[in-house]
Amino acid sequence: GAGVSQTPSNKVTEKGKYVELRCDPISGHTALYWYRQSLGQGPEFLIYFQGTGAADDSGLPNDRFFAVRPEGSVSTLKIQRTERGDSAVYLCASRSSGSPDTQYFGPGTRLTVL
Amino acid sequence: DAKTTQPPSMDCAEGRAANLPCNHSTISGNEYVYWYRQIHSQGPQYIIHGLKNNETNEMASLIITEDRKSSTLILPHATLRDTAVYYCIVRVATDSWGKLQFGAGTQVVVTP
């Protein structure tokens, strides 16, 4: 079946611009996660949704970052006033209630802020 | 603070077993050991997890020491496609719905 998909695969933007990154989880998965990965490092947790609500947003670095999941399926990560330090690969993962130990990751969106 | 310690890199010959160590000396009784791997330009992939007994699946085996302070992931017959960064993660059992806390992992290179 289809895995987690993320669009766009690459995004180049200028400092100060607004960007949206989209995640389509595996159909039927109730939990959705966003991570950020800088070069040479492991993924860093940002936010976790259970259904439509954010169950844990403790990883969001500041108020420029915001994520939504209005219908409990697709999620959008929104970054305002982008900074060069926001450049990273943004990973999305989803998990089913029947398989709580396994998160399934998408290929990521590579964000470059010039 | 890092909960796990892994070597930054290791090489393995194709067809041989790859033994990846992980130290987790401060692990608590209710914490599991998870392993994920990340092939270049892909998202991480779940491999295996365990509490205290050794575990085996179609991908790998997980050996946890009796005191639970360290573990070894074994890839029994490494192939070139096993070249990846391998992450050892310690996680509270009741938090299995929550976040994964990745370290830097071990870069494994399988050579012909």
Q: Encode pLDDT of A52-69 as tens digits.
A: 999 999 999 999 999 999
Q: How far is A105 from chain B (nearest CA, A)?
A: 5
pLDDT at residue B1 above 50?
no
**Residues A36, A44: Cα–Cα separation, whole Å:** 5
B51-75: pLDDT as tens digits: 998 999 999 999 999 999 999 999 9
Average per-residue pLDDT for chain A? 95
Which residues of chain A fall short of a pLDDT of 50? none
Chain A to chain B Cβ contacts (< 8 Å): 56
Amino acid letter at A102? Answer: T
**Residues A75, A69: Cα–Cα separation, whole Å:** 4
Q: How far is A35 from chain B (nearest CA, A)?
A: 9
Q: With a CB-CB cutoff of 8 Å, which residues 43-72 of chain B face chain A?
A: 43-46, 49
CB contact under 8 A, A48 and B99: yes
Contact status of B94 with chain A (Cβ, < 8 Å): no
CB contact under 8 A, B105 and A50: no
Contact status of B105 with chain A (Cβ, < 8 Å): yes
Q: What letter would DSSP give residue B5?
A: B
Residue B102: list chain A partners with CB under 8 A: 35, 42-44
CA dihedral B97, A102, B34, B48 (to 10 degrees): 150
Is there a contact between B91 and B31 (Cβ–Cβ < 8 Å)?
yes
pLDDT of residue B108: 98
